[in-house]
Chain A
Amino acid sequence: MLTKNTDNPLVRLENLSKVFSVHSSRGLGTTDITAVKNVSFDIKKGETFGLVGESGCGKSTLSKIALRLLNATSGTAYYEGKDLYKMKYRELVNIRRQMQVIFQDPYDSLNPRLSVEELVAEPLIVHRYGNRARRRERIEELFHQVGLPPQLMTRYPHQLSGGQRQRVCIARSLTVSPSFIVCDEAVSALDVSIQAQILNLLLDLKRRFKLTYLFISHDLSVVKFVSDRIGVMYFGRLVELADTETLFSRVLHPYTHALLSAVPDPDPDTQKRRVLLGGSVPSLFNPPSGCVFHNRCPFTEPICSEEEPPFIDMGNSHFAACHFAGKLNLKIDF
């Protein structure tokens, strides 16, 4: 259904779901919570796919099960047509070098007990790349590519700034010459001034190494800046998916509309009408019936609380999960 006009996607996710069993500390029984439900989409070679949604909506979990860093509860993920969930442990370890992740918190994603050099060298050692001298050479080259001064090599993560740490993470994921990189809130923990530097570095590297990105962020302005296509997630579900252009010109889902209206506008003269959502994100322990957005949606109708809307193509590969997609007046007053 999603493959209509995509030739050979690099990554394909099919109905991925993740359910966590939450249990009390003394075994008084468990409750299941669904963090990700039935998410499917393709990522084409060379594109940047942006995934946007509030924190806690399951974006990070989705990226982890998409790479099988965590096991999905159901559904599957393909990389270059190969099913990650049918792979043996050894094959998986080997294919992982092609798919890298840059995590949100550069402080937490670097082992505090290893030096920067050891950290960047690790992938090279794991994949048996050259001898010590060759590795050293390669690390220096990588440092140059991500804009890190070589004298930082002997430092430890806590001695670096946030931006430097994130550059180390980027260098580390580039060591194995990947073709697909997941940037999981890669710039969110950084200062705004540093954010721009890192974003530009990422775009620059993409051009240079012909990379494909899955770019995850809660910040729509960042996602808009880097992405070719955007998927919007809410409460573990994909609610809308379209080209960046299309999405910003014709919004189909009320949730996306609310998100768009919240993007700060650099021009102080434009009067933007913000759509303020009532209520709050529902509890994972008690998911709403029907459309998961119905308790906060300004356009809610009786059917919304009864039936879960299907995720369908509304033309031009623009998907949305709303009973009234295309029938609502979702103008953004730019």
Chain B
Amino acid sequence: MKSMLSNKFIVIGGTIIVLMLLIAIFAPLLTPYEYGTVNLPNKHQPPSSEHVMGTDLYGRDVWCRIVYGARISLYVSFSAVAIAIIFGSFFGIIAGYLKGVVDIVFSRVIDIMMAFPPLLLSLILGACLGTSLQNMTIYIGVPLIPMFFRVSRGVTLNIGERTYIMAAKSIGSSRLRIMMKHILPNVLPQIFVVLSLGMGGAILAEAALGFLGLGVPQPTPSWGLIVNEGKLYMFSAPWTTGFSGAFIALTVLGFNLLGDGLRDFLDPKLKHLES
């Protein structure tokens, strides 16, 4: 734990993420206005002491919307990644341990999923499932499954041949027990690294879908939606999209740094090359 804190990527990335989580949790304390109050005469006000990040096309305070948007965006991303981890690592461990036909079938399905750019897969799933908060976690989560599948399968293949797996087999442990008790604990640290990078991907996906108009439906503010509402006024009132985009970038940066740091931390071999 101590040496983990000596990695500057982990510290910087972790700090950014903790800050964002605090903002999301304490949203009501940080916002001087209601995020949904429409005040048309007050629309498109530039940043001032009253509205630190200006107002949007309906005269709503951009800062308040971004703060509440953090809740939705982080919630959607976390749920999406959770879905991807559950399915990805479940099938990945099974494929890596049982090998043979099971592995071939699962890996082919993942190959097919990877033939779609993640955003494209999200788009058509979104177009066909319809946009709601629940559906959104599904169609952001599904394209992330291959990432977790490949990591879990790789780690499992690697340690599946280790002697202690043979030893566990020889004392009569069942396949299920070996996968749960011996393989899963070895897969989890790697999952953790990918989780961090996956979170960055999920937040970017939510933003991109919002930008394309397939995000969380009105009036719930999510970062993607705020970006979308401001994009047409990029020339006259760039602050709406400008500030919300900056928050997205900062959060993704936090997760990317944390992921990089964790990878270096768990795989010291690469460390001398990266820093």
Contact = CB atoms under 8 A, between A and B. Distances in A.
Chains A and B in contact, CB within 8 Å: yes
A69 B177 contact: no
Nearest to B184: A113
A123 B163 contact: no
A111 B159 CA distance: 10
B170 A100 contact: yes
A94 B172 CA distance: 6
Contacts of B181: 114, 122
A109 B185 contact: no
Contact of B167 (A99, A103, A127): A103
A109 B166 contact: yes
B182 A69 contact: no
B173 A126 contact: yes
Interface residues of B, number: 17
B172 A108 contact: no
Contact of A109 (B167, B174, B177): B167
B166 A93 contact: no
A264 B48 CA distance: 90
A103 B166 contact: yes
B171 A97 contact: yes
Interface string A175-194: 11000000000000000000
A117 to B, nearest CB: 14
B171 A109 contact: no
B164 interface: yes
Nearest to B174: A93
Interface string A203-244: 000000000000000000000000000000000000000000
Contacts of A96: 169-172
A13 interface: no
Interface of A: 64, 67, 69, 93-94, 96-97, 99-101, 103-105, 108-111, 113-114, 122-123, 126-127, 169, 172-173, 175-176
A126 B163 contact: no
B108 interface: no
Contacts of A122: 168, 171, 173, 181
A15 B162 CA distance: 27
Contact of B164 (A67, A110, A126, A175): A110
A126 B166 contact: no
A315 to B, nearest CB: 37
Most chain B CB neighbours (cut-off 10 Å) among A104, A110, A126: A126
Interface of B: 162-164, 166-174, 177, 181-182, 185-186
Given A113-B185, A113-B186, A99 B170 contact: yes
Contact of A69 (B166, B174, B186): B166
Contacts of B172: 93-94, 96-97, 123, 126-127, 176
Given A113-B185, A113-B186, A126-B177, A176 B171 contact: yes
A111 B166 CA distance: 11
Given A108-B164, A109-B163, A126-B177, A67 B170 contact: yes
Going nearest first, the 6 A-B pairs with the smallest beta carbon separation are A123-B171, A109-B163, A108-B163, A96-B172, A113-B185, A111-B164
13 contacts: A64-B166, A93-B173, A96-B172, A97-B171, A99-B170, A100-B170, A105-B163, A109-B164, A110-B164, A111-B164, A173-B170, A175-B171, A176-B171
A94 to B, nearest CB: 7
B170 A101 contact: yes
Nearest to A105: B163
A249 B63 CA distance: 93
B100 to A, nearest CB: 11
A320 B259 CA distance: 60
Contacts of A113: 185-186
Contacts of B170: 67, 69, 96, 99-101, 173
A13 to B, nearest CB: 17
A96 B164 CA distance: 15
Contacts of A69: 166, 169-170
Given A101-B166, A110-B164, A122-B168, 10 more contacts: A69-B170, A93-B173, A96-B169, A97-B171, A110-B167, A113-B186, A122-B171, A122-B181, A123-B172, A173-B170
